[in-house]
Amino acid sequence: MREIVFDTETTGLDSRDDRIIELGGIELVNRFPTGRTFHRYINPQNRAINPEAQAVHGISAADLVGKPTFPEVVDEFLDFIDGAHLVAHNAGFDIAFINAEFGRLGHPEVDRGRVIDTLAIAKRRHPMGPNSLDALCRRYGIDNSRRTKHGALLDSELLAEVYIELIGGKQAALGLETTVSTTTVVETAVIEISVRQRPAPLAPRLTEIEISAHAEIVRDLGDKALWLKLDQFGPASENREALGSVAER
């Protein structure tokens, strides 16, 4: 199974008017990173960067001078995500921007059925929160000390580790989904088992005093006492063998 864990940084929060300025992702196959990554800074084509957004990701307009536009990187990005599930934290935000950029170029939108939202998974697993990426890194002991600012590629790398923990930890990534074809020959054998019976039953370990004391207790339990099933054919002293067998279980 192939998955792309990805993240975007944008000029602002409105996918209708704002633009993607950084796009990053890493490839997982059977929940293991393959080492294949995608990372591009993108020129927003004269779209100003909101100061609040810049405070989060630290990317300025000067940083994007000479960088490619989204139309110049879209084919490479499409090739990178082709056929894969897309994993993002608060995926609705990122997918809205991706689809807005695709729409401007006449590309089909990303099918929501191939999108996995780690924030939704985290809210189910940890309903009391917090469930930000930083909080989940702390919860799972993932080193996020390099994350002084948001960054698409670094956040994708951290999210990949968080995602694996969210879906069951490292054991979830053991490649159990790999299909292996084998041929097994099974031979049927008939095995005869004989059980030897004791020539004489074991002697009971209960004394007469213990049996009598037990019989008195049983009489006080009432007519529906289960012990009466053992005593129904006579007094307890006559059922020494039965009571002794029960005592040895």
| 3-state class (DSSP) for residue 50 | coil
Distance in angstroms (rounded) separating the CA atoms of residues 222 and 225? 6
Closest C-alpha to 110, from 4, 27, 245, 216: 4
Q: Provide the pLDDT for residue 230.
A: 64
Counting Cβ atoms within 10 Å, is residue 220 exposed (0-12), middle (13-18) or buried (19+)? exposed
Active-site residue flag, 150: yes
> Would you call 94 exposed, middle or buried from its count of C-beta atoms within 10 A (0-12, 13-18, 19+)?
buried
* Dihedral of the alpha carbons of 25, 30, 35, 40, in degrees to the nearest 10: -10
The whole-angstrom separation of Cα 98 and Cα 105 is 11
- Catalytic residue from among 39, 89, 126, 150: 150
Residues 93, 117: contact at Cβ < 8 Å? no
Residue 213 CA: distances (Å) to CA of 217, 219, 233, 235, 237: 7, 10, 18, 12, 10
CA–CA gap between residue 141 and residue 243 (Å, rounded): 59
| 140-190 residue pLDDT tens | 999 989 888 899 999 999 999 999 999 986 644 444 444 333 333 444 444
Q: How far apart are the first and last CA of the chain?
A: 52
Tell me what pLDDT residue 238 has.
Answer: 46
Instruction: Quickly list H helices, the chain.
Output: 51-57, 70-81, 91-105, 118-125, 133-139, 152-166, 208-220, 228-231, 240-247
**pLDDT tens-digit profile of 55-67?**
999 999 999 999 9
The mean pLDDT values, 10 residues at a time, for the chain of 249 residues are 97 96 97 96 96 96 97 98 98 98 97 97 96 96 89 95 88 42 40 59 76 81 74 44 44
In this predicted structure, what is the pLDDT of residue 37? 97
Which domains are assigned to the chain? 2-173 (3.30.420.10), 208-247 (no CATH)
pLDDT score, position 228:
72
